[in-house]
């Protein structure tokens, strides 16, 4: 018995020491758990693709890819953060010409101060080489990727749709919208690049109501006067819709799709997930400057990012892979070298969600969810708990800071 106690103590000490002295590159073997932790709340939304929670509005919205056209599930939260039993369903708009096509939400974002929900949606379409000006893409030119809902008395009311045309890809599997630090600009994903399959991002200047505005075109060869992240935004279409033009060539990312796989806004720069790393937009000499950050190692593939709300840490998840990265960042600038975690048996997918109060980061997997442990500085601590879930890939994740609650969409209750 004594020997067992001593052995256990030695083992615990050894594990603790390992967590504190992790090498920069390490392997994690997940600890399978069957009972969800107390901070995790499941909501039933089959085939979830994304989620967002608003503490200010006490709302949880989960997006789903359902052929029954129930696209958004809206849950009201009580004072304890418990979701209502039955959601209200919202169908996303699409033009009549695409009535037979399958549209689906990819990203949801609440405005931090205004009662607005930004939704990025997509629709199945022809292959990338038959998009843009190709005749087969003609019906898709009126598809609005961006829908903005006002929240009035807890209900969603469609306020604005836009972002359409040959400047955006259709049928992309990832990408979401992001706001800059002051919520004055809205960034959108999956704009077209130089060639089929290469992409860029678009940016709207927002008015005081949080709606996209027309920004003045930049004069070629002249430096913008103000240090803002303005980009070219097209004229109103039909007096109702705004259409975002592709960015000037110098600002193209030229990365493979999808672009905008998660956004992290800091005081000086905005970081975006993308192909094989992340992209940093900062302001320099009055204009936006982009720096591409390739993930170390020789791996490639789409990457999703998330930033810690208080610790100097940025997280990158190589999609459908067992690699997960943590990089220090301050003011939006990644710094030094990343931690590289290889999680045994994992196929992590989706945009990670920082579960700040519980010091972990959640990331979906096939029929499961990983909770990767973090230390006080937001660095990975070498631990992972993997929870089995009734779902395809756990992508409907959202965290409430106010309630310290992680919401996870599942196909059905256990």
Partner 1 sequence: MRFLFMKSKVIALCVALLAFGASPLIARTIIIKADALDSFAALSETNVRNGWATYNYDNTRYINSSSGGGPATSYLLRYSLDQIPKGMRITRAEWTIAHNVASTKVNVWRVLADWGIGACFQYRTTYPKQQEWSVAGARGKSTDRATNPTASGQFVNGQLLTVNVTQDVEMWYTGAAPNRGWLITFDGFALLHSPTHGGHRHKWQLTVTYEPE
Q: Which of residues 323-352 bind partner 1 (CB under 8 A)?
A: 328, 330-331, 333-337
Give the helix/strand (H/E) hosting 2.
Answer: helix 2-20
Residues 91, 254, 310, 344: which binds partner 1 (CB under 8 A)? 254
Which residue's CB is nearer to partner 1, number 33 or number 291?
A: 291
Residues 95, 248, 296, 404: which binds partner 1 (CB under 8 A)? 296
**One character per residue 222-241, x = contact with partner 1 (rule: CB under 8 A):** --------------------
Tell me: does residue 298 bind partner 1 (CB under 8 A). yes
Q: Which of residues 19-78 bind partner 1 (CB under 8 A)?
A: 24-25
For the CA atoms of 292, 294, 300, 303, the dihedral, rounded to the nearest 10 degrees, stands at: -70
Residues 19, 237, 291, 356: which binds partner 1 (CB under 8 A)? 291
Beta bridge partners of 373: 360
Q: CB of 234 within 8 A of CB of 250? A: no
Tell me: does residue 194 bind partner 1 (CB under 8 A). no
Q: Which of residues 149-178 bind partner 1 (CB under 8 A)?
A: none
Cα 322 to Cα 183, 318, 342, 345: the distances in Å are: 33, 8, 5, 7
Instruction: Please give the size of the binding site for partner 1, defined by CB under 8 A.
Output: 25
Which residue's CB is nearer to partner 1, number 181 or number 292?
A: 292
Which residue's CB is nearer to partner 1, number 162 or number 332?
A: 332
Rg over alpha carbons for the chain, rounded to the nearest Å, is 21
Q: CB of 190 within 8 A of CB of 259? A: yes
Interface segment toward partner 1; rule CB under 8 A; list 122-130, 211-219, 278-286, 318-326: 278-286
Q: Is the peptide bond before 413 cis (omega within 30 degrees of 0)?
A: no
In the complex, minimum distance from the CB of residue 159 to partner 1, in angstroms, rounded to a whole number: 37
Which residue's CB is nearer to partner 1, number 45 or number 295?
A: 295
Q: How far apart are CA 114 and CA 117, in angstroms?
A: 9
**What contacts 23, CB < 8 A, 6 or more positions away?**
none
Pull the structure tokens for residue 279: 């992209």
Give the helix/strand (H/E) hosting 8.
Answer: helix 2-20
Q: CB of 278 within 8 A of CB of 314? A: yes
Interface segment toward partner 1; rule CB under 8 A; list 35-43, 129-137, 280-288, 381-389: 280-288
DSSP assigned state of 246: P
3-state secondary structure 185-215: EEEEEEEECCCCCEEEEEEEEECCCCCEECC
Residues 282, 341, 400, 406: which binds partner 1 (CB under 8 A)? 282
In the complex, minimum distance from the CB of residue 315 to partner 1, in angstroms, rounded to a whole number: 15
Q: How far apart are CA 351 and CA 367, in angstroms?
A: 16
**What contacts 80, CB < 8 A, 6 or more positions away?**
403
**One character per residue 363-392, x = contact with partner 1 (rule: CB under 8 A):** ------------------------------
Tell me: does residue 209 bind partner 1 (CB under 8 A). no
Grouping H, G, I as helix, E, B as strand and the rest as coil, residue 272 is strand
Residues 232, 294, 347, 367: which binds partner 1 (CB under 8 A)? 294
In the complex, minimum distance from the CB of residue 329 to partner 1, in angstroms, rounded to a whole number: 8
Q: How far apart are CA 176 and CA 262, in angstroms?
A: 6
Q: How far apart are CA 30 and CA 374, in angstroms?
A: 14
Tell me: does residue 275 bind partner 1 (CB under 8 A). no
In the complex, minimum distance from the CB of residue 374 to partner 1, in angstroms, rounded to a whole number: 16
Which residue's CB is nearer to partner 1, number 213 or number 254?
A: 254
In the complex, minimum distance from the CB of residue 64 to partner 1, in angstroms, rounded to a whole number: 36
| Bridge pairing between strands 198-206 and 255-256 | antiparallel
Which residue's CB is nearer to partner 1, number 22 or number 114?
A: 22
Tell me: does residue 292 bind partner 1 (CB under 8 A). yes
Which residue's CB is nearer to partner 1, number 130 or number 267?
A: 267
Which residue's CB is nearer to partner 1, number 89 or number 256?
A: 256
The binding site for partner 1 (CB under 8 A) comprises 24-25, 254, 268-269, 280, 282, 284, 289, 291-294, 296-298, 312, 328, 330-331, 333-337
């Amino acid at each position: 018995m004594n020997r067992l106690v001593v052995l256990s103590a030695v083992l615990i000490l050894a594990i603790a020491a390992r967590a504190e002295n992790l090498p920069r590159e390490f392997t994690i073997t997940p600890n399978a758990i069957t009972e969800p932790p107390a901070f995790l709340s499941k909501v039933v939304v089959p085939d979830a693709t994304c989620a967002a929670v608003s503490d200010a509005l006490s709302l949880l919205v989960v997006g789903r890819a359902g052929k029954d056209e129930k696209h958004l599930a809206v849950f009201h939260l009580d004072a304890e953060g418990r979701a209502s039993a039955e959601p209200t369903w919202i169908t996303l708009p699409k033009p009549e010409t695409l009535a037979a096509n399958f549209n689906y939400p990819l990203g949801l974002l609440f405005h931090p101060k205004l009662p607005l929900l930004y939704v990025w949606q997509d629709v199945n379409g022809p292959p990338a080489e038959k998009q843009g000006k190709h005749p087969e893409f003609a019906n898709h030119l009126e598809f609005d990727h961006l829908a903005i809902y006002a929240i009035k008395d807890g209900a969603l009311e469609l306020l604005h749709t836009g972002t359409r045309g040959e400047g955006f890809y259709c049928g992309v599997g990832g990408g979401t919208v992001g706001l800059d630090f002051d919520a004055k600009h809205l960034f959108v994903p999956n704009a077209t690049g130089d060639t089929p399959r290469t992409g860029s991002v678009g940016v709207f200047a927002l008015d005081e109501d949080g709606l996209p505005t027309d920004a003045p075109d930049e004069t070629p060869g002249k430096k913008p006067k103000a240090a803002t992240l303005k980009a070219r935004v097209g004229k109103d279409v039909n007096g109702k819709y705004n259409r975002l033009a592709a960015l000037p060539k110098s600002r193209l990312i030229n990365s493979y799709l999808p672009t905008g796989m998660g956004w992290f806004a800091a005081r000086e720069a905005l970081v975006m997930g993308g192909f094989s790393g992340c992209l940093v937009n900062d302001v320099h000499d009055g204009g936006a400057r982009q720096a591409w950050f390739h993930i170390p190692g020789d791996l490639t593939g789409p990457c999703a990012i998330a930033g810690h709300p208080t610790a100097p840490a940025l997280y990158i998840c190589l999609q459908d892979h067992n690699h997960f990265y943590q990089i220090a960042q301050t003011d939006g600038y990644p710094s030094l070298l990343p931690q590289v975690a290889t999680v045994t048996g994992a196929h992590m997918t989706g945009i990670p969600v920082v579960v700040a109060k519980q010091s972990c980061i959640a990331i979906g997997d096939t029929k499961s969810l990983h909770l990767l442990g973090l230390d006080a500085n937001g660095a990975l601590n070498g631990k992972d708990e993997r929870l089995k879930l009734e779902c395809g890939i756990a992508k409907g994740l959202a965290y409430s800071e106010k309630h310290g609650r992680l919401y996870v969409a599942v196909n059905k209750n256990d």
